[in-house]
Structure 1
Amino acid sequence: MAALAGCGTTADRTAAPAPTKAFHWTSSAPLISPQPAPDQTIYAVKDPSIVNVNGTYHVFMTTAGSVGWGLAYTSFDKWPDAASAKIVPLAKSPMGPGYRAAPQVFYFAPKKTWYLVYQGSDPLYSTSKDIGDPMSWSAPQPFFPVVPDIVKLPQGHGWLDFWVICDDRKCYLFNTDDHGRLLRSETALGEFPNGFHNTVAVMTEKTEDLFEASNTYKIADTNTYITLVEAVSPQGRYFRIWKSDGLDGKWEPFSSAPMNTFAGRDNVEQLWSEGISHGEMIRTNADQTMTIDPCRPLEYLFQGNDPAVHVADYIKLPYRLGVITAKGDNPVSALCR
């Protein structure tokens, strides 16, 4: 007798594979590396943010050089073209020179405007109407008129690596502090980029277990959000992953791997780097919802460094950018409908 629809036989249920609860990846070679600059030595390219618009990748990054930290831009249509694509410093745009790092780029659909979020001493943003024109970015503007008390020394530890994501009511700004805290601020969608307030700690762990470079996404066609935060181990940097049913909700581990690992030395094949550090998911759209498609193989653009190169000065660590691609099923792909 045929089994009833949706029930299956005992043998069928026994044979069905259990949903995977961990991630596995394979790595590209380094794809984006420093290029010669007329005014300084560029040691590293870091902290990438990426969107794909009409078939073209747009990548923003931190440059680490002999005159300090800055932001830069490159674009290309296919990954084999990334290495030869020109990297353009943004210091000559209206954004101007000075300390800038850790960019995040997205299209804010309600205002039909591109936003570039980055860190100065505090969270800053610039805007553009043309993501393909690196000279179009506006002068920096602060998100906060006054630094929140939770961030100020001595009770706070400063803030860095800012990340904006919005739902249909509010925009949230997440950041880390290199001391084991993930912080969140909020504003109404209609007030963005103004009005951020209510800065609170939403996760607190040991410093090395919740370090920096948080990035948060919505999984398409679900009510699930994921957040990734970089951690530090003796084997190098790696990312951990949590999930929530809302940007203002509680974050719970989203991997059964030790330390709810998302990506690191233990689960990335062909890895040329000491670990997996500051990066961003390659998303299915470019807007403020930060949506990823669970039905497509996950790709993550990351910064990595050669484990054989040891330097005392952090700015001289030879970071390069590469891509890891998910292999097989994982907790995100399990949500594909």
Structure 2
Amino acid sequence: MKSNPIWRTGDRVFLEGITGTFDDVSVKDPTIVNVDGKWHVFYTGRDATKWRMGYIAGKELTDLKKADRNYMTSLNGGSYFCAPQVFQLKSKKTWYLIYQSGLGATFSTNADINSPQGWSAGKAMGFTDGIDFWCISDGTKIHCFYSAQDGSFTIKKRSTLVADFPYKWSEPVVVATDTFEAPHVYKNKADGKYYMMVEDIRRYFEIWQASSLDGTWTKLNEKWADYANLIETNEHWTDQVSHGEILRSGIDEMCEIEDINHCQVIFQGVVNGNYADYGIIPYDLGIMKNY
């Protein structure tokens, strides 16, 4: 893969909501799929005090800025619910949202991704030792990668059989060290390998590689996507490359992408400032490309 790609980003594609809404401080942690020619985005919305989840959709990525916002009131994850991942489980033709909440690792289901209030109330997956949960299948098992919350700066992984998902998880194993959070893992169709994009605490993306989901992970580039190799082609809207997702080629739990050397990433960014608390950093969403 390219060792040091150049990234380009244009205008922001989605901004915080109007005063008094659930996302009037920031919009962040996006997950995205394209279904029948329409982009579906689930995201964390932040007001002055709470983290909650929203949904938008549009035929073009540039349509997201004017899309209707949906506060996902059908979810019930205790005191908060945020940092989603969305996919359709092939065997059940059912949509899953995986996210963090007061229940720990949490899931909700829906028969129709177009129905934001059709999601079931959150249910616990059975473990609470992390954040930023990401599920991906190798066809036999589903693996859940997440950021440990024990001060170890590690990424951990649990696994379960596809037939048992989203329950009966294995004990955790450490797959990456000296790193931070938001691990997103993909099967790269161009070379058949797996790539894990991880956000460093200094707000850039590392990239890791493995030959299988049970294999050993090797860091390929500490600063695969960093502001230093990001070109803003229009407005200056970010000094960070923070929590994001590569646009997938499919919609299911295999989490496939066409080519990691020729991809798009939806990510959160912000101009650096003296923000009193992480919760009130005014993140917006944009798209960057490495081609």
Q: Does the C-alpha gap of structure 1 residues 192 and 77 become closer, same or farther in structure 2, counting only changes over 3 Å?
A: same
Instruction: Name the structure 2 match of 1:171.
Output: 142
1:22 aligns with 2:4: yes
| Backbone CA RMSD of aligned residues | 1.9
Q: How much does 1:37 deviate?
A: 5.9
Q: How much does 1:168 deviate?
A: 1.1
Equivalent residues in 2 for 1:1-337, closer than 5 Å? 20-36=2-18, 38=20, 42-91=24-73, 93-95=74-76, 98-121=79-102, 122-144=104-126, 147=128, 151=129, 159-177=130-148, 179=151, 180-205=153-178, 210-220=179-189, 222-233=191-202, 237-255=203-221, 259=222, 261-270=223-232, 272-294=237-259, 297-307=262-272, 309-327=273-291
Q: Which has a greater percent of strand?
A: 2
Q: Does the C-alpha gap of structure 1 residues 285 and 212 become closer, same or farther in structure 2, counting only changes over 3 Å?
A: same
Does the aligned pair in 2 maintain the 1:46–1:320 contact within 8 Å? yes
Q: Does the C-alpha gap of structure 1 residues 295 and 212 become closer, same or farther in structure 2, counting only changes over 3 Å?
A: closer
Q: Structure 1 stretch 278-287 or stretch 30-39: which is displaced more?
A: 30-39
Q: Which runs of 5+ in 2 are unaligned?
A: none
Counterpart Cα distance in 2 of 1:99 and 1:295:
33
Identity of aligned residues (%): 32
Q: How much does 1:297 deviate?
A: 2.9
Counterpart Cα distance in 2 of 1:169 and 1:221:
21
* Residue identity matched to 1:139: A
Instruction: Name the structure 2 match of 1:12.
Output: none
Does the aligned pair in 1 maintain the 2:23–2:45 contact within 8 Å? no
Counterpart Cα distance in 1 of 2:239 and 2:287:
14
Does the aligned pair in 2 maintain the 1:70–1:97 contact within 8 Å? no
Who wins on radius of gyration, i.e. which is larger? 1
| Deviation by residue 1:94-126 (Cα, 9 ceiling, x = unmatched) | 547740010000011111100000001311000
Counterpart Cα distance in 2 of 1:172 and 1:196:
9
Q: Does the C-alpha gap of structure 1 residues 37 and 74 become closer, same or farther in structure 2, counting only changes over 3 Å?
A: farther
* Residue identity matched to 2:95: W
Normalized against structure 1, the TM-score is what? 0.80
Counterpart Cα distance in 2 of 1:41 and 1:24:
31
Does the aligned pair in 1 maintain the 2:135–2:142 contact within 8 Å? yes
**Deviating runs (4+, > 6 A) in structure 1?**
none
Q: How much does 1:41 deviate?
A: 6.6
Q: Does the C-alpha gap of structure 1 residues 221 and 268 become closer, same or farther in structure 2, counting only changes over 3 Å?
A: closer
Does the aligned pair in 2 maintain the 1:230–1:238 contact within 8 Å? yes
| SS of aligned partner of 2:157 | strand
| Deviation by residue 1:239-278 (Cα, 9 ceiling, x = unmatched) | 00011000010011234xxx2x221111111163121000
* Count of aligned pairs: 285
Counterpart Cα distance in 1 of 2:20 and 2:285:
22
Normalized against structure 2, the TM-score is what? 0.92
Q: Which runs of 5+ in 1 are unaligned?
A: 1-18, 152-158, 328-337
Q: How much does 1:322 deviate?
A: 0.2
Q: Does the C-alpha gap of structure 1 residues 214 and 81 become closer, same or farther in structure 2, counting only changes over 3 Å?
A: same
